[in-house]
Structure 1
Amino acid sequence: MSARHTIFVAAVLTAALALTGCSSESDKETEAAQAVTIKDQWVKAAPDGMSAAFAELVNSGSKDVRVVSATSPASPRVELHEVVTGDGGTMTMRPKDGGFLIPAESTASLTPGGDHLMFMDLSAPLLPGAETDVTVIYDDGSSTTFTAQIRDFSGNQENYDPNHGG
């Protein structure tokens, strides 16, 4: 084999290894989005102000996944919230530090009176029967966008504590 041919083969192998490394990194970045399925999603109807999105987040993967943020055209700001029992036994809604954990091969529920995606300062009224898109972003940087139906719901009128009581 000539020196030129050896250098060419080495360059091709190096390029192939580099592409394989990029491909593996790309696969890693989308692992959460590929593992999570969104089911039974819906958004509470509201004329203005705040609303919330609920769903079942199913992780079919072998690693835990964490939702760290969300977006929606229905609201300029979407927060990850939890509901906790506050002083005097009142139910208090507040931002959830660390996001929502979806355990490996398990489910996390976003429910009224529990963890949910909070739409702050709605862009327009959310009318029953309409739909809106919601995108959840995972800790690996990947995301999933789903469409949720808007429904009437009058329950869960918790207090809001944006400062965690502090």
Structure 2
Amino acid sequence: MTDRSPRASRAGLILVPLLLLAALTACGSENDPSPVAPTAASSSSDPADDTAATEPPADAEPAVTLVDPWVAAAPQGVTEAYGVLVNRSTQARTLVSVSSDVTDVVELHETVVVEGGQMLRPVDGLEVPPQDGLALLPGEDGITLVNVERPLEDGDEVALTLTFDDGSSLDVVAPVRG
């Protein structure tokens, strides 16, 4: 029987979304977000119409997404949110805060090795490298929901708003898993 290391498992969880990202990126570029042909209104040569070309469409996918988000079931108190943050942009993005509909206290943490085991240490942000991902897994860096006042049971949903250092935010609904 072969044991897989936590690093190998983590790499596998990052690899799948990154392959999906590569496939999606190959279909277009940041400068050409959609394959839609120009319309008469958008093909105007009037320089005043150039503002539409510099602003991303309202329905454009955000630079950073959270793939396979979920929250661990808990009777109340403390739990964690998991998933893989995928950064499609060419610049690093740092997750600087998270808010939730189940608590007013959400912390970002890193997992550090200490004598006799591991411990969670609060951090000001979690960096997501450009064109890469950051796995938020049990026993790894992540998002801690503190002072959860009601039980979170398998099948419930938790709303999360992730805010990044560039001012962008991402709203996510994560299912609770037991």
TM-score (norm 1): 0.70
Q: Structure 1 residue 126: deviation in Å?
A: 0.7
Amino acid at match of 2:117: T
Q: Secondary structure at the match of 1:104?
A: coil
Q: Structure 1 residue 123: deviation in Å?
A: 2.9
Q: Structure 1 residue 76: deviation in Å?
A: 1.2
Report the Cα distance in structure 2 between the residues aligned to 1:34 and 1:43, rounded to whole angstroms: 22
Q: Deviations over 1:99-123 (max 9, x none)?
A: 1111110001111101111001003
Residue 63 of structure 1 aligns with which residue? 91
Contact 1:76 1:123 in 2 (8 A): no
Amino acid at match of 1:94: R
Q: Which residues of structure 1 form unaligned runs of 5+?
A: 1-15, 153-166
Higher Cα Rg, which structure: 1
Residue 130 of structure 1 aligns with which residue? 156
Residue 145 of structure 2 aligns with which residue? 119
| Runs of 4+ with deviation above 2 angstroms | none
TM-score (norm 2): 0.65
83, 88, 99: which one aligns with 2:125: 99
Amino acid at match of 2:97: S
Q: Deviations over 1:18-62 (max 9, x none)?
A: xx6xx97x87xx9xx821121111101011110000010111111
Q: Which residues of structure 2 form unaligned runs of 5+?
A: 1-47
Residue 42 of structure 1 aligns with which residue? 70
Contact 1:41 1:148 in 2 (8 A): yes
Higher RCO, Cα 8 Å, sep 6+: 1
Q: Secondary structure at the match of 1:140?
A: coil
Q: Deviations over 1:66-98 (max 9, x none)?
A: 100000011111000111111x232111202x4
Q: Are 2:111 and 1:83 equivalent residues in the alignment?
A: yes
Report the Cα distance in structure 2 between the residues aligned to 1:60 and 1:43, rounded to whole angstroms: 24
Counting aligned pairs with the same residue, the percent is: 37
Q: Secondary structure at the match of 1:113?
A: coil
Residue 100 of structure 2 aligns with which residue? 72
Report the Cα distance in structure 2 between the residues aligned to 1:34 and 1:128, rounded to whole angstroms: 28
More helix by share: 1
Report the Cα distance in structure 2 between the residues aligned to 1:57 and 1:102, rounded to whole angstroms: 7
